Amino acid sequence: MKKPLVVIVRNIPKQGLEELYKHCRVIMHKDSTPPTRAQLLSYAKKADAIVTVLTEKVDAELFAAGKNLKIVANYAVGYDNMDVLAAHRAGVYVTNTPGDLGASVAEHAMGMILVLSKKMLQGDSFIRANKYKAWDPNLLLGNDVRGKTLGIIGVGNIGSALVKIAQGGFGMKILYHDIIRNKKIEQEHQAKRVSLSDLLKASDAVSVHVPLLPATRHLISAKKLNMMKKTAVLVNTARGPIVDEKALVRVLRANSIAGAGLDVFEFEPKTAPGLSKLPNVVLTPHIASATVEARTQMGEIASQNIQDVLIRNKKPRNALEA
């Protein structure tokens, strides 16, 4: 019997995909750049399953092209690139890779908070410019994070992992804003649920961990940014358009907040004009989950979802509901 065909539309790490290669015919996109739309549709036409990442638009057109397509496994926790309702109408399963990836992203967010608070970026530039001549007690004074207030917007898997790191490891006080109350972090980490406005006004660091939805686009607007303390920092490892990036540039230029750490961008892969020139910004190219451990787990989850459908003939364990 001919093995089902799986097309992985991006060049991704093979860790975690061993079982998929064992039970299916697998074709992987060779280039590091995303496939063109025409390439993506051609992949869908011949595959029983495809693995996508967040740069691929998974919509009704793709489902119509995929006559034999049974599942699209998104190699990501977020799935704002997928039209879940169109998938259900087409009778195609769509899945994501939740797992324990939250810890990897939360570590990245905490790292950005530390870099910004301790002025490590400025210190690195100072050394590289050969400006360091002698120890100076007034040089690049930063702030401790111990005992400071961290505001977390969204306490799902990633936000909750950050609570544990920040409160358990650094003794930070936790404020959170979420449409759903999280009693566990309240009881175990003394977190307090507050309005978004109160969180922004009271926090020394703010970290964003909500999905990109119509309601969260520009959730952090110019008005919201101006509510923050002048000494506060903003970190976004969620989705770029949640923050009004042009407004953020204006606020940072005016020194209305102390700094920002961005792993995602509103106009990704481009950044808002002037952002990369600012000295008080940490910028990373969407790598918050880029650890060997996280990528291996993502591969394992995507592989198991596909095998659920193609090999075990059952609903995938991470099926997304419309």
Q: What residues act catalytically?
A: 239, 268, 286
Closest alpha carbon to 12 in 59, 56, 48, 46: 56
- Determine which helix (DSSP H) or strand (DSSP E) holds 234, and give its type and residue range: strand 233-236
- The whole-angstrom separation of Cα 76 and Cα 96 is 6
- Strands 93-95 and 173-177, by their bridges, are unpaired
Q: Are 15 and 299 in contact (CB under 8 A)?
A: yes
Q: How is residue 267 annotated by DSSP? A: B
Residue 317, both tokens:
């364990």
Q: Which residues contact 277 (CB under 8 A, 6 or more apart)?
A: none
Residue type, 261: G
